[in-house]
Structure 1
Amino acid sequence: MAFSPAVAKPLEKLGIRSTFDLVLHLPMRYEDETRLTPIREAQPGESVLVEAEVVESEVKYRGRRTLVAKLTDGKSELWIRFLNFYPSQVKQLEPGKRVRVFGEIRPGFFGDEMVHPRVKVVGKDTPLPKSLTPVYPTTAGLSQHQLRELILGALDKLALEDTLDNALLAKLRLGEFRESVLFLHRPPPGVDRTSLDERTHPAWERLKFDEILAQQLAMRIAYRERRAKSAPKLPDKHTLTNALVKSLPFALTKAQKKSYATIARDLAEAHPMRRLLQGDVGSGKTLVAALAALQAIENGAQVALMAPTEILAEQHFLKLSHWLVPLGVRIAWVAGSLKARAKKQALAGIAAGETQLAIGTHALFQGDVAFARLGLAIVDEQQRFGVEQRLALAAKGGEPHQLMMSATPIPRTLSMSYFADLDVSVIDELPPGRTPVQTKLVSEKRRDEVIKRIRTACAEGAQAYWVCPLIEESETLQLKTALETFETIKETFPDLAVGLVHGRLKAEEKAQVMADFKAKKIQLLVATTVIEVGVDVPNATLMVIEHAERMGLAQLHQLRGRVGRGAKKSHAILLYHQPLSEMARARLKVIYENNDGFEIARADLQLRGPGEFLGARQSGAPLLRFADLERDAHLIESARNVADDLLAGKSRAAARHLDRWLGTRQFYLKA
């Protein structure tokens, strides 16, 4: 079906590019126009269909033009009003016309009334619809009526044959595809409306299963294609890796050892590793990444480590330099803030193969960066990078191994669906000596108590953070707020050494401030959210987060993770301002009640949904439109098994099913 240019544009906004996309554009709710309700029997708050005769109609001027008509069904009267109307509607409501109006009846100035109802002129014997009326998500330039006609046309035109055989459907207790689709677009009047609204009806189950199956097939195919590619074997030679472990003043945790063992095994294989290393804040992911980097380096390969912010990349640079330079590893730093001469020097070392480990921001995958023999790409906080950026970094070295790290734990259902093409390692324990951070929610009105708390903590030899509010709209505004907060805090604590760190500071200035804080020259550090990851100061035991209600769960948990890194008891005080929105209240409740990153991530997923949790741009996987990860976990399990069976059996069903649901949208899965 070719769409006219006028219709094609709004359809594109809805993600509809083909006739089949119309079939999968399912109703968000339904209206019942299958039965008539006498005017006097209409219940308040309920939308009903009324058939009546127009008694009088006129355009009145009461401050604005209003079309008003009085109708009667022979027993009761009903007024209808239109504040916006066309000449055709005036004609439609001429006295003597018989009409059906659909809407909500409520008390009005002259009696019962409907405002802006749907109106249809009818004859005495015009039949009623045989199914509920679907209401579709639409957009400007495309009326509900137009969209409904397009969808009904597509349903009548397409065969909608099944991609799955009857035996499989019977085993899974699923209905036929065509039958399920037609049912959802044209449900009969007696259907259980709750099962439709809550998407638990068997017809919904079929559509959700198909959607999840397509996702699973795409991810499994991407996984198999990667396994078929070649990458350099980088076995653990135990020279540099053992040297690092011996040089550390502490022992690796069991979880760190287990995670590194799986990575070491992957690197030794002849196909590219795609492993996600996840662990809660402070679990020691960087050390595991350092061991992986050394394993690649001792095999003569280069390593790139990419972080989303300059301050995090700097933290990695400082920490890895501290660990690896004494072992003879040559490290370069690449960031947008580098001066031309320093950048040229860094790039030359990378291109010549002299640099063994390059650490930086997204500047690492710019066109002017060339690696001599990139063997391993490590991406920290991988969910913050777009899939195109990860592809660009990987493309720097043919088929390098990739290790992705995330301190935002991935809930199991999300891992099963959106990360099904990756191998996952989890560091599920914290190093010994860490104390759980106690979280307190404090109203802005009690600021004086918080100030007293900081004074006491610093007097006892501890250090504290004061985190400025997040202002997403403007980096300039955020900087202004940070500077103002810094001046206020200095006045409030004239007896304390107060420092300031923010994203606009030069790299060397940021490094100096953080070094002074670590050396206890600064007692109270005022900071923007740039310190949410990577900063490790064991003596800092108190954190105050201003306007905590503005921040997301992952960010609050990350910030809180900057304290509690030593043996002393630590506290995070979340200062909030009233009034709180429902969402902000729910977030603060979760962070107050939980220290477990996985539980926080699960709650975050429920509050925001997978699209926002992952960032739709960031995920290469097709986002689920119909299925719910928590409620439909049983479907994910069975879809995984069916995907494996279909691919193992080399049946045409897998290709047909993928083509139906994803079409050409499979390219990004190769990231």
Structure 2
Amino acid sequence: MSTAQALSAPQNALVKMGLSRDIDLALHLPYRYEDETRIVALRDARDGDTVQVEGTVTDNHVAYRPRRQLVVTIDDGTGACVLRFFSFYPSQQKALAVGNRILARGEIKGGLFGRQMVHPVCKPAGGELPQALTPVYPTTAALPQAYLRKAVVSGLARADLSETVPAPLLPQFGLQPAWTLREALAFLHHPGPDTPLAALEDRSHPAWQRLKAEELLAQQLSQLHSKRERDRLRAPVLRTRPGGLHEQLLAALPFALTAAQRRVGEEIAADLARPVPMHRLLQGDVGSGKTVVAALAAAIAIDAGWQCALMAPTEILAEQHFRKLVGWLEPLLAPLGRSVAWLTGGQRKKERGAMLDALASGEAALVVGTHAVIQEQVQFRALGLAIIDEQHRFGVEQRLALRGKAGSGSGGAHDGEGANEAPESPGPLEPHLLMMSATPIPRTLAMSYYADLDVSTIDELPPGRTPVVTKVVADSRREEVIERIRAQVDQGRQVYWVCPLIEESEALDLRNATATHEELAAALPGVQVGLLHSRMPAAEKKAVMALFAGGRMGVLVATTVIEVGVDVPNASLMVIEHAERFGLSQLHQLRGRVGRGAAASACVLLYSAGDNGRLGETARARLKAMAETGDGFEIARRDLEIRGPGEFLGARQSGAPLLRFADLASDTGLLQAARALAPQMLDRFPEQADRHVQRWLGGKSEYLKA
């Protein structure tokens, strides 16, 4: 019999919930408490209160109208109360027999027929009352509260809760020294009856502060350790040179860089000139000009005799980058006998073979593509710089695979002038890594989950971008929106109409987009209305995008495949259908497809309320934020408030420990203290630092290193 089979159902449930170590059980905290320490007289109980009463059963019968139910009446001498059970067992009916004295705990409600409790928790009266509040833990159907409570008590007793934060460092957190980790956990599992529930629920109690501080410290230690490990690796030294490719590209660009683009370009160039791998996140709002910054970084790598790879999550985005990079770099590379390669999954075998050969020989200085770039058969002569766009869409494994494509690492990929020599290194060289994101990361998130990254921010838009007016419109006004589209097309403008992806069914997505396409084609005679969705063959997608980009198609109905990377300056109106189904950062990305030219642009968020005619609270907050601001950083801040960190981390979080106790919005002070403390602890108390990370993160810290 296997170990898994030998375990009972509750034991299996514990393992599935990640509660396999004693410390995991000790750190599994209640989400609420029940007060079973006192008995309230019925005359003193107020409607809506959850109370425990003690009384004698005076009536017990099964009623059949309006539905079958067990009705029990108890009296405590100060008043009577009816207990109703809509599902019950014979044993329960017997335990509540007339004459029995019982404890009943539940919410008191007044009504036409007097006071009542529905499905209260009942047990025989007598015996001592608990001395502490009763914990209620997050659990699953296979794991009863009673079993989990016992497991937590024994885990708490067995766990090694010796102090890992050195005493000299604790005052820097501003914590009360009276609360050790052991005391904080013992208290939070079984707080005394006089503890204010508000301080437990809002996590402001000193015991909670102790736990949040330790959790944030573990995260900061893990991130700092991985950053230091990476700083021990070696990368090619890539320097700019007078009159080199970098200067030539700057001179050839048909526009001047913004001050922000110049600043981040210099930060990246300084990183590339160091012998340790760059690990930098380039963030900037939609349309801020990240691609040209990436092109200048690629020019430095290529001029130094190394190759560069740019990987994007979708073919449309990859092709957008490819077109721009070919336009800027090919004229400069051709005289050197170098080229820009293109790699995607849908390529013909012959074309793909030619690209692979060009990469392996070093003739291709730069490759642009999708996940195809990291496939096993792709071999570089010497990869010096890897660029990942929309990095949160890629998993840890995919980013590691691209970093592992370093090639021979000799520094002589191209024997042209200016090839920099690679430093002496005991092992293969790591490529520099530049990650790009149009979803700006709020500062507190950058300080915590991206603490191991250097962050560069393009915080201004290029001149000529027009502000986009955002309107929130109910689906009942759909006809007015179609009229607005007709007016835009009559003025020679173009329009996007985006339909949501319905995760459960690609067929539904298709039907939704196809029906909208047919509706708009019928409503707009004489206008070419195109359709673009994820299941179309690549060649067909390409043809549709070419018609729209060339101005020959007036309206493009699409699923979110156009979310990033589509640049049509003549498009002035974006309609997002079922806008309530989209995340805030995704709505902002979609809105960024318009306002790219001189024409006044607008984004219509078409929403459909639920069956009750009302929008959910989260959806309302998102749409309100979109209407109120066009600033990507403000959008990101509100998205963090609404949805929490997961949205920003994307695939990086697969297994990464999202904070369980600390809250990035309200615990900034503790986060800053943890950041300051982590390097001191790693330098002065390395063994305790290691124990601390193991206690809080176990093996999960590996996920934070990519």
Taking structure 2 as the reference length, what is the TM-score of the superposition?
0.90
State the partner residue of 1:523: 554
The CA distance in 2 between the partners of 1:547 and 1:617, in whole Å, is 28
State the partner residue of 1:23: 26
Closer, same or farther: CA 612–13 of 1 in aligned 2, 3 Å: farther
Matched, 1:291 2:289: no
Deviations 1:153-179 (A, max 9, x none): 222333522212334334433232111
Deviations 1:341-395 (A, max 9, x none): 3333333333333322222212222233232322211111011111122112222
State the partner residue of 1:553: 584
Q: Is the 8 A contact 1:383 1:619 kept in 2?
A: no
Aligned residue for 2:470, secondary structure, equals strand
Deviation of the 1:145 alpha carbon: 1.1
Deviations 1:414-441 (A, max 9, x none): 0000100000000001111112111122
Closer, same or farther: CA 493–60 of 1 in aligned 2, 3 Å: closer
From 477, 482, 506, the counterpart of 2:508: 477
The CA distance in 1 between the partners of 2:480 and 2:76, in whole Å, is 68
State the partner residue of 1:208: 212
Deviation of the 1:576 alpha carbon: 2.0
RMSD between aligned residues? 2.3
The CA distance in 1 between the partners of 2:170 and 2:626, in whole Å, is 43
Q: Aligned runs of 1:494-505 on 2, under 5 Å?
A: 494-505=525-536
Q: Is the 8 A contact 1:307 1:362 kept in 2?
A: yes
State the partner residue of 2:185: 181
Closer, same or farther: CA 122–468 of 1 in aligned 2, 3 Å: closer
Closer, same or farther: CA 608–290 of 1 in aligned 2, 3 Å: same
Closer, same or farther: CA 298–620 of 1 in aligned 2, 3 Å: farther
Closer, same or farther: CA 37–526 of 1 in aligned 2, 3 Å: same
Matched, 1:105 2:108: yes
The CA distance in 1 between the partners of 2:103 and 2:379, in whole Å, is 71
Q: Is the 8 A contact 2:468 2:602 kept in 1?
A: yes
Aligned residue for 2:699, secondary structure, equals coil
Deviations 1:104-144 (A, max 9, x none): 12347864332222222232xx2221111111111011111
Q: Aligned runs of 1:378-393 on 2, under 5 Å?
A: 378-393=387-402
Which is worse superposed, 386-395 or 441-450? 441-450
Matched, 1:601 2:636: yes
- Unpaired runs of 5+ in structure 1? none
Using the aligned pairs only, state the percent identity.
56
Deviation of the 1:65 alpha carbon: 6.3
The CA distance in 2 between the partners of 1:178 and 1:128, in whole Å, is 25
Q: Is the 8 A contact 1:13 1:139 kept in 2?
A: no
Deviation of the 1:467 alpha carbon: 2.1
Aligned residue for 2:575, secondary structure, equals strand
Closer, same or farther: CA 94–444 of 1 in aligned 2, 3 Å: closer
State the partner residue of 2:537: 506
Q: Is the 8 A contact 1:544 1:574 kept in 2?
A: yes
Matched, 1:303 2:308: yes
State the partner residue of 1:236: 240
Deviation of the 1:206 alpha carbon: 0.9
Matched, 1:666 2:669: no
The CA distance in 2 between the partners of 1:82 and 1:421, in whole Å, is 55
Q: Is the 8 A contact 1:468 1:545 kept in 2?
A: yes
Q: Is the 8 A contact 1:314 1:511 kept in 2?
A: no
The CA distance in 2 between the partners of 1:355 and 1:325, in whole Å, is 11
From 326, 329, 337, the counterpart of 1:324: 329
Which is worse superposed, 383-392 or 480-489? 480-489
State the partner residue of 2:421: none
Q: Is the 8 A contact 1:240 1:298 kept in 2?
A: yes
The CA distance in 1 between the partners of 2:112 and 2:481, in whole Å, is 55
Q: Aligned runs of 1:452-491 on 2, under 5 Å?
A: 452-491=483-522
Matched, 1:360 2:369: yes
Taking structure 1 as the reference length, what is the TM-score of the superposition?
0.94
Aligned residue for 2:12, secondary structure, equals helix
State the partner residue of 2:424: none
The CA distance in 1 between the partners of 2:293 and 2:448, in whole Å, is 26
Matched, 1:51 2:54: yes
| Structure 1 segments (4+ residues) deviating >6 Å | 60-65
Deviation of the 1:185 alpha carbon: 0.9
The CA distance in 2 between the partners of 1:260 and 1:30, in whole Å, is 54
State the partner residue of 1:349: 358
Matched, 1:370 2:373: no
State the partner residue of 1:629: 664
State the partner residue of 2:139: 138
Deviation of the 1:303 alpha carbon: 1.7
Which is worse superposed, 229-238 or 380-389? 229-238
Closer, same or farther: CA 262–366 of 1 in aligned 2, 3 Å: same
Deviation of the 1:455 alpha carbon: 2.6
Matched to 1:516, the amino acid is: L
Deviation of the 1:620 alpha carbon: 6.9
Matched to 2:141, the amino acid is: A
Aligned residue for 1:106, secondary structure, equals coil
Task: Give aligned pairs, total.
Answer: 668
- Unpaired runs of 5+ in structure 2? 407-427
Closer, same or farther: CA 441–151 of 1 in aligned 2, 3 Å: same
Aligned residue for 2:680, secondary structure, equals helix
Q: Aligned runs of 1:9-20 on 2, under 5 Å?
A: 9-20=12-23
Q: Aligned runs of 1:261-280 on 2, under 5 Å?
A: 261-280=266-285
Matched to 1:79, the amino acid is: V
State the partner residue of 1:32: 35
Aligned residue for 1:542, secondary structure, equals strand
